[in-house]
Homo-oligomer: A and B are copies of this chain.
């Protein structure tokens, strides 16, 4: 398989979607991995766009069948990444972008490490994160407090990532993201390397 994986992690409110949209002209074609979840769709969320919404029983069947590249439970709901669309995209040589948490990053790296480049996207400070979460006013206070608490824990996993992007100014952060995404495409996985060495010395 010739494709590559780019894992993006970072607190909710770090600006991941904004950065990806801003850079999308510079990074060429990619497949944005859609997660599967058992939680209820929120207003405006569409099946197959925001998430694949499934039942608890369906998700657990998937787990048993080995369908998930990674999964976790958060507040009683399952969240996971189906392996099949990822493998299809990789076989087409695409860059597959994941927006998952640090635990998801660990699992993807453990399974497909030679395909993975990863970046942690963060606001410059914790207080800036808090400010942004309150400013966008999409979550109520208890959810914001939980996000801030999660962020405080996740920041200590920074060293596990290949890159960090400090989202202070969007144009700068987007340019850095584009550079990282284009480098991620050049990463050679072990299967490709072995093929290359075989034809090289022949």
Contact = CB atoms under 8 A, between A and B. Distances in A.
A186 B200 contact: no
A155 B125 contact: no
Summarize A's interface: helix, strand, loop or mixed. helix
A2 interface: no
Contact of A176 (B158, B166, B186): B186
Interface residues on A, range: 20 to 34
B164 A193 contact: yes
A188 B162 CA distance: 8
B202 A125 contact: yes
A152 interface: yes
A187 B163 contact: yes
Given A125-B202, A202-B125, A186 B197 contact: no
A180 B163 CA distance: 13
Interface of A: 122, 124-126, 152, 155-156, 158-159, 162-166, 176, 179-180, 182-183, 186-188, 190, 193, 196-197, 199-202
Given A126-B201, A152-B201, A180-B183, 13 more contacts: A124-B200, A126-B200, A126-B202, A155-B197, A155-B200, A155-B201, A163-B183, A163-B186, A163-B187, A163-B188, A179-B179, A179-B186, A182-B183
